[in-house]
Copies of this chain bind each other. A is one copy, B any other.
Amino acid sequence: MRPPSEPLAPTLSRTAQLAERLGRDIRDGKMRAGTRLPTEQELIARFRVSRTVVREAMASLRAEGLIVSRQGAGVFVADDTVSRPFRIVSDELRSLVEVENVLQLRLAVEVEAAAIAAERRSTADLRLIRGCLDRIDEAIARDEAAIKEDLAFHCAIAEATGNPYFERFMQFLGPVIIPRQTIRLGLETAAERRAYVGLVQSEHRRIYAAVRKGDRDEAQRCVRQHLEAARDRYRRLVASQSPFEEG
């Protein structure tokens, strides 16, 4: 009886370890842009690994844009003016702490987004946000977990800032946090789930009211309270479930 999800072996491959190590050195700025990395042979000798491992680690770093290699000349630290993408790999989120860290970053962005939205929201924005609330209500009526509708609400707030980067950031974060939300599905009874989502929805309504009122500080307080409550709920649910079932 094997769950189709791979348990992701706790031991990192040598390739991954070496890539991690070298990547950190570069990111930390220990090697300036244009600096030549040690040759393959030197890395083989220094880290006691095979050439395969060295080359695959290099391939990883090259894919990340951290290095460029020139046949015959060597491997060089890439020019740091090329903006490296911000990326959150879901493999990183196996521990509760990591999930909370991401949620904390999300809170930072959403708290400010709500404040800006309260200042700048148009009536069209309000209508959109209101529509999201309605769709959550409908999902609740259908006894669903309303996970996507929930995210849509938060994205609508971000959109109301008029700053596309807030919206893009929330949409970027969506796929990262949604899998964690499936924990809602673990709630035993439909009534329980209903109560859970209903509580969340009441918090959403307070946020909406503050944004509509144009009350900057109130909007910030509500979002902070909402996301901290979400964090606490997540903690409790993880604690109550078997650690083996944890997402």
Cβ of A62 under 8 Å from chain B: yes
Cβ of A89 under 8 Å from chain B: yes
Cβ of A38 under 8 Å from chain B: no
On chain B, the residues within 8 Å of A101 by CB distance are 163-165
Task: Report the copy number of this chain in the oligomer.
Answer: 2
Cβ of A86 under 8 Å from chain B: yes
**CB-based contact B4/A76 at 8 Å:** yes
Q: Which of A47-93 contact B (CB under 8 A)?
A: 52, 55-57, 59-65, 68, 70-71, 73, 76, 79-91
Cβ of A96 under 8 Å from chain B: no
Cβ of A116 under 8 Å from chain B: yes
Closest to A155 in B: B29
Known: A109-B109, A113-B108, A165-B104. A173 touches B89 (CB 8 A): no
Cβ of A183 under 8 Å from chain B: no
Known: A63-B59, A63-B63, A83-B89. A104 touches B4 (CB 8 A): no
Q: A residues touching B (Cβ–Cβ < 8 Å)?
A: 1, 3-4, 6, 8-9, 15, 19, 27, 33-34, 52, 55-57, 59-65, 68, 70-71, 73, 76, 79-91, 101-102, 104-105, 107-109, 111-113, 116, 161, 163-166, 168-169, 171-176, 178-179
